[in-house]
Amino acid sequence: MAEQPLDGAVALVTGASSGIGAATARRLAREGAAVALVARRGDRLDRVARDITGSGGHSITVAADITEPERAEHAVQQTLDRLGRLDVLVNNAGIRLLGSALHTTVAEWDRMVSLNVAALLHVTHAAVPHLIYAASTSPREVADLVNVGSAAGPAAWPGSSVYSLTKSGLNAFAESIRRELAADGVRVSVVEPGAVDTELMDHLNEITQDAARRQVAGIEPLRPDDVADAIGYIVTRERRIAVNQMTVRPGDQSW
C-alpha cells in the first residue's frame, strides 16, 4: 500500500459518534491515522469503529462525557495509553439549540456553553502538551488542533444568540492559542461550516425546527463528508502551510 499522509500519526476526534465527527474520523483513518473516537454514546462509536476497521483502518473508542474535566483528561490519556501519542485533535463535539431570549430556558443556554465551550477547553488543555511533543518527534514536524466552529459565529441571527456566542468565542480562543503554539509546530485551525445535514436539527423543539427548516429551504445542505474533507485537507498539508480558518458553505447559501 502506498504511504499515506498521516501514516504513524494518531488523531482524537470528539463528537465522533455521528455527523461531522464520524465522517472526520473515517477521513483521517483513510489518510493513515489511528483514530481515537470520543463521544458519550458508546454503541454509536462502536459502529463508526467497525466502519474504520472494515476499510483497513485502526481506531479505538472512548465513551466519555467530556463536559466533566476528569473525563476529558481520561479520554486524552486513554488515547496516549492505547495509541502511544497524539498528533491531531479535532474538537468537534457541540450542540445547537435555537430560540429567542424570551422563550429559551437558561438550562438550554448552559447546555450549549457546557459542551461547545467548557468541553472543548477541557480536552484542549489536556492535549496541548502532547501535541507539542508530537510536533517535536514526528517526521512531519507538525501537529494539528482543529476546531469545528460555525458560519453562525461571525454572522449571528435572531434566535442563535448563545450558539453564536459559543462559536464566535471559539474564534478568539483559537487565534490566541495559535499565536502561543506556532513556534512549537502546532497548527491551530477553525473550520466554519454553513448549513449541514446533520442530526443537530433534531435537538430543536418542533416550533424552532420548523423555523430552522424554513430558513434553509431551497438550499442543498453540505454533507458531513464535505466538512470532513476540509479538515482532512488542513491536517495533511506540509509543515510550511497553515490553514488557520476555513468557511465552507453550501454553494447556494447566501447568508
Beta bridge partners of 248: 193
133 given a catalytic annotation: no
The amino acid present at 143, given as its one-letter code, is A
Which helix or strand (DSSP H or E) is residue 37 part of? strand 34-39
β-strands 143-148, 34-39: how paired? unpaired
DSSP 204: S
Beta bridge partners of 91: 147
Give the C-alpha separation, 255 to 252, whole Å. 9
DSSP assignment of 50-72, as one string?
Answer: HHHHHTT-EEEEEE--TTSHHHH
Catalytic residue among 163, 189, 194, 198: 163
Give the C-alpha separation, 72 to 40, whole Å. 11
At 244, give phi and psi (nearest 5°): -85, -25
Q: Cell numbers 499515506 correspond to what residue?
A: 4
Q: Cell numbers 508530537 correspond to what residue?
A: 134
Calculate the CA 50 to chain-centre distance.
20
C-alpha cell at 41: 454514546
Give the C-alpha separation, 5 to 81, whole Å. 23
SS3 191: strand
Catalytically active residues are: 163
